[in-house]
Structure 1
Amino acid sequence: MKYSLLILLFFLCAPFIVTSHAQSAKSLQVTQTKASVLGTSTLHDWECVSEKFDIKATGSMESGQVKTVESLTATIPVKSLKSGKSGMDDNTYKALKESKNPNIIFELTSPVEVSNGQAEISGNLTIAGKTQPVKISSKVNGNTFAGSFVTKMTEFGVDPPKAMMGTIKTGDDITLQFEVTFK
């Protein structure tokens, strides 16, 4: 009898427990974004920057500081990447197969817990239509996440661009950097 009362009590309270937990993760609003792709070439180092892209995220904040990120999808339009040189931008869009794959997409694959100003981020990154799992160590300062990681263009099926009939070649290694501020 005592156990059946406990079981009944559990089933009556369970919906409230689940609802209470689900409400702790809420939509995180983004106030500022910046993503950069840095690389090298036989002529000079280069950088392409996107300062405005779409992020949809849920998580929790406490006193203006991000505590968890439960889900996150970032969509960066390829044509939002700018180097300051239109010829280089055109080569970038062509190399990233922008006409068939207009966006670079990152999707979080496991929740993120912020601890001591650090967060380990795991997700799937899609560039030029090819998806690869990535792990990113990031620093968290209150409500701002900043991180970077190194990869190769060829890991995403991207041929490093060439110019001037192949005399200028882009290196295969690239560094992807990001900074996102939530409120």
Structure 2
Amino acid sequence: MAQAQSSYSIAETGSKITVSGTSNLHDFTLVSEEIKGSADLYMEGSEITGIKKVVVTLKTESLESSKSGLKRNAMKTLQPEANPIISYIAFDMADDGKVSGILNVAGYDSDQDFSFTSKVENGKLVVTAQGDVKFTDFDLDPPSALAGTIKAKDDLQLEIILVLEEEK
């Protein structure tokens, strides 16, 4: 099959970003389903063979938690007033199947690689990327609460699910 460049936009529903971590007291999760962006990919049939450029953005304040205190502490750390957008711009795909790019959180750029899988589902390309990041990758101190008695660990897991619609 011939390799072709295809352009996609992120569908209005189905995409989400999940940030998971732990503290000395409990595990925590923040989720956003308000993701925007586009992807220019090299494809062979339904398989991604290369990346020209992928842009993913979300409003920092769109990260939600079922625990209001957790969201409040996360926003204190991320400072959405000064840094309203979180973005990932991918520009390369290594032979090991990882995507490479720049993740911008709280105004700080960090080179990040993520493993990913893709499949075609209901006529849309669904890409799931996963990787480990740290608060300190973005020059951030892990959040704490109750005068430091509850403190988040530096390590975080990031999962990005993108539902992509081909642009005609």
TM-score range, shorter chain: 0.7 to 0.9
Deviation at 1:119, TM superposition (A): 3.6
Q: Are 1:30 and 2:6 counterparts?
A: no
**TM-score if structure 1 supplies the norm length?**
0.76
Deviation at 1:148, TM superposition (A): 1.2
Deviation at 1:156, TM superposition (A): 0.6
Length, aligned pairs only: 156
User: Which structure is larger by alpha-carbon Rg, 1 or 2?
Assistant: 1
SS of the equivalent of 1:144 reads strand
Which amino acid is the alignment partner of residue 30 of structure 1? I
Q: In structure 2, what is the equivalent of residue 126 of structure 1?
A: 104
**TM-score if structure 2 supplies the norm length?**
0.83
Contact 1:28–1:60 (Cα < 8 Å) also in 2: no
Aligned equivalents of 1:52, 1:155: Cα separation in 2: 24
Aligned equivalents of 2:44, 2:87: Cα separation in 1: 28
Q: Are 1:139 and 2:117 counterparts?
A: yes
Contact 1:42–1:168 (Cα < 8 Å) also in 2: yes
Which amino acid is the alignment partner of residue 5 of structure 2? A
Q: Are 1:39 and 2:21 counterparts?
A: yes
Aligned equivalents of 2:91, 2:78: Cα separation in 1: 23
Contact 1:119–1:140 (Cα < 8 Å) also in 2: no
> Structure 2: where are the runs of 5+ without partners?
none
Aligned equivalents of 1:36, 1:158: Cα separation in 2: 18
Q: In structure 2, what is the equivalent of residue 176 of structure 1?
A: 158
Deviation at 1:85, TM superposition (A): 1.7
- Identity of paired residues, percent? 31
Q: In structure 2, what is the equivalent of residue 108 of structure 1?
A: 90
Query: Over aligned residues, Cα RMSD in angstroms?
Result: 2.1
Contact 2:8–2:38 (Cα < 8 Å) also in 1: yes
Q: Which structure shows the bigger proportion of residues in helix conformation?
A: 1
> Structure 1: where are the runs of 5+ without partners?
1-20
